[in-house]
Amino acid sequence: MINAEGLTKRYAGGVGIADLSFQVRPGVVTGFLGPNGAGKSTTIKLMLGVIHGEGRTTFNGIEYKHLPDPLRTVGVLVDPGAVHPARTAAGHLRMVAAGGGISAKRVHAVLSTVGLESVANKAVGKFSLGMRQRLGLATALLGDPEYLILDEPANGLDPEGVLWIRHFLKRLAAEGRTVLASSHLLAEMSQLADELVVIAAGKLVAAEPLAQFVRQYTRGEVVVRSAQITPLMVTLGQAGLRVRQEVDELVVDTDDSDVVATVAAKAGIPIRELFVRRSGLEAAFMAATADSVQHKGIWES
């Protein structure tokens, strides 16, 4: 379990992070979301003690600075570009492994895991952004850690790479590890994360299962299909329900499917299909963080 308590970072111009507290459970992938400038990177740096502030973060009860073997406990991906361009991928990993008391045998294993085995002896300066990202993940995995904190792990990856990392992180979580991954790719996060920590303007917005977050910040609507679509539309309207027709189906402005079914049954109108449709993570995120967005563009129609 990762336990963050009262994380606060004050700057000359004000408070960047204000009293953030949340938990990250093992066995699930927790997504870390927030608008640009919300403080995600600052939060991660505070958690790891890279910058100083108030509050504390513990990994199974121990702060990062007090971990006896940090590389074997917490794997971190923050800045994959922080590698000397002349150093090879294998050379970089051997250096990190030596500094952490990790066997050099792990270098070959993690390069194979992230798909960089064929370029192990290639200079990192010649790597694409996606390849650097994979090398950063390999570095985080060197110690076979119980905890993983990954800042934008899918950044720069092609579609195949994004799909790969989604399944890979889910597999790590299924092994009982604790995975915290930040991302601005909401569509991908909706398929990756089981739980969410959402911040805006340096404050906690939500820390809960993804499905619960979506339910809280979006409205559902009932979609109904019937061979008697026009009579059904009239009947639902007479019952006080707002309804619109979309091609061969009706969309009712409610998330209570029982109400729609009851109205149809009382009118003797058979229903072919009935289900609740709800907006996804993107709509929920926009609704939850709308008041904190600093730079808003103008939509043109």
| Assessment of whether the complete model's pTM goes beyond 0.75 | yes
User: What are the residue ranges spanned by the domains of the chain?
Assistant: 2-208, 219-278
How far is the C-alpha of 271 from the C-alpha of 226, rounded, in Å?
A: 5
Strands laid side by side in the 273-278 sheet: 243-246, 249-252, 220-225, 273-278
Instruction: Give the integer Cα–Cα distance in Å for 108 and 128.
Output: 20
* Cα dihedral value 3, 135, 133, 31, nearest 10: -20
Sign of CA dihedral 249, 250, 251, 256: negative
Q: Which CATH superfamily is domain 219-278 in?
A: YebC, transcriptional regulation domain (3.30.70.980)
Q: Distance between CA 228 and CA 107 in Å, rounded?
A: 66
Q: Which two tokens stand for residue 56?
A: 């504390």
Q: Can you read off the two tokens belonging to residue 65?
A: 């600075």
- Domain 2-208 sits in CATH at 3.40.50.300
Q: What is the pLDDT of residues 91-142, one digit of tens each?
A: 999 999 999 899 989 999 999 999 999 999 999 999 998 899 999 999 999 9
Percent of the chain topping pLDDT 90: 73
Res. 14: pLDDT tops 80 = no
On the question of a common fold for 2-208 and 219-278, the answer reads no
Per-residue model confidence as pLDDT tens digits over 208-240:
999 999 989 988 899 999 999 999 999 999 999
SS3 21: strand
Torsion of CA 264, 265, 267, 268, to 10 degrees: 120
End-to-end CA distance of the chain: 47
Whole-number Å distance between alpha carbons of 240 and 217: 24
299 pLDDT higher than 50: no
The torsion region of residue 24 among left (phi > 0), alpha (psi -120 to 50) and beta comes to beta
| Residue 36: predicted pLDDT | 84
Average pLDDT, the chain: 91
Q: Write down the pLDDT at residue 158.
A: 87
CA distance 134 to 46: 24
Q: What is the pLDDT of residues 251-286, one digit of tens each?
A: 999 989 999 999 999 999 999 999 988 888 998 999
DSSP class of residue 52 equals -
> What pLDDT, on the 0 to 100 scale, is given for residue 292?
64
Q: Are 166 and 190 in contact (CB under 8 A)?
A: no
